[in-house]
Amino acid sequence: MKLTEPVPGGPCWIELSTPDIPAAKSFYAALFGWRSETDPREEAGGYTMAHLGAARVAALSPVYQPGQPPAWTVSFATEDADATVEKVTSAGGSLLVGPMDVFDQGRFAVVTDPSGAVFSLWQGRAFAGAELLNTPGALGWVELVTREADPALAFYPAVFGWTVTASESYPQWGVAGADFGGLLVMDDRFPPEAPPNWLPYFAVTDVEATAATAQGAGGELMMPPAGIPGGRRIAVVRDPQGAVFGIHQAGEDG
C-alpha cells in the first residue's frame, strides 16, 4: 500500500464483527501487539478500539444479528456518505445500513457491490479513520475476492474514481495512482459457497513468525506463508472465532 493516511476513496478503517470480543482482544494482542479498549457507554454497544501505541488502528464490535458470521469489514473514506451511497446504488450496488451519524465522529453506511461483496463508507468528522496505515501491525493492503472481474472493474471506478493498474492476473486499485489493493478472481480452489468479499491484509515484519504466532494462539492457516511476485511473503489466517484476514511482509511501500 502506498497510502499512509486516510484519503478520499482510499481504505480508512477496518472493523471486526465477532461473537467474543475478550477472546479477540487476546488473539490480536498476541499477533499484532494491539491494546484494545471497550467504550463503556451503553449506547456504544461494546464497540472496542484497538491501538498500536497511542494510534487507533482497528475496531472490534459484537455481531448485531443472529447468525451473522464473524468477519472483517473494510471502510473506504468519502467526503459525502449520502452522495456516495447514491453512486453505489446507481452503479448496481445495494445499501444495507445507513447512512447514519456516529456521535460526533463521522457518518457511515454499509453497502455491497453488484456481486454482494460488503464494504463500508466513512465520512470522517472528529475521527478521520486509522491513525496508522502501511506499518507493521496496521492495515497494509485490501483485496477484493470475487468471481468476475469485469463488473468490479466497472463498479468501483464509477463509485470512487479509482485508478486501475491493468494486469490479466491481478489488477490493482489506486487513488490518483497510489495503489492500495487488488482484485483476485476466485478459481476452483475456492468452495462454491464462498461469497465475494473484501479481504484485509495487515503488514508484519516476519510472515512466518506471525503465522506461527497465529497458530499458537488458536488461529488456523488458510494459506501458509508463500512468496508472490516482487519477493514479498503473504499468508491468510482464520482467527479462533472464524474471521479471515491476510498478513503480508511490510516493505518500503507497505
pLDDT tier at 254, thresholds 50, 70, 90: very low
Strands of the 48-52 sheet, one edge to the other: 35-38, 48-52, 55-62, 11-18, 71-77, 118-124, 106-112, 94-102
3 state SS of 30: helix
Q: What is the pLDDT of residues 125-163, one digit of tens each?
A: 999 999 999 999 999 999 999 999 999 999 999 999 999
Residue carrying the nine cell digits 475521527: 127
Type of residue at 14: I
- pTM given for the model: 0.94
* Structural domains for the chain: 11-124 (3.10.180.10), 139-249 (3.10.180.10)
Q: How, if at all, do strands 94-102 and 35-38 pair? A: unpaired
Check if the beta carbon of residue 109 is closer than 8 Å to that of residue 212.
no
Q: Quick one: DSSP state of residue 186?
A: -
pLDDT tier at 253, thresholds 50, 70, 90: low
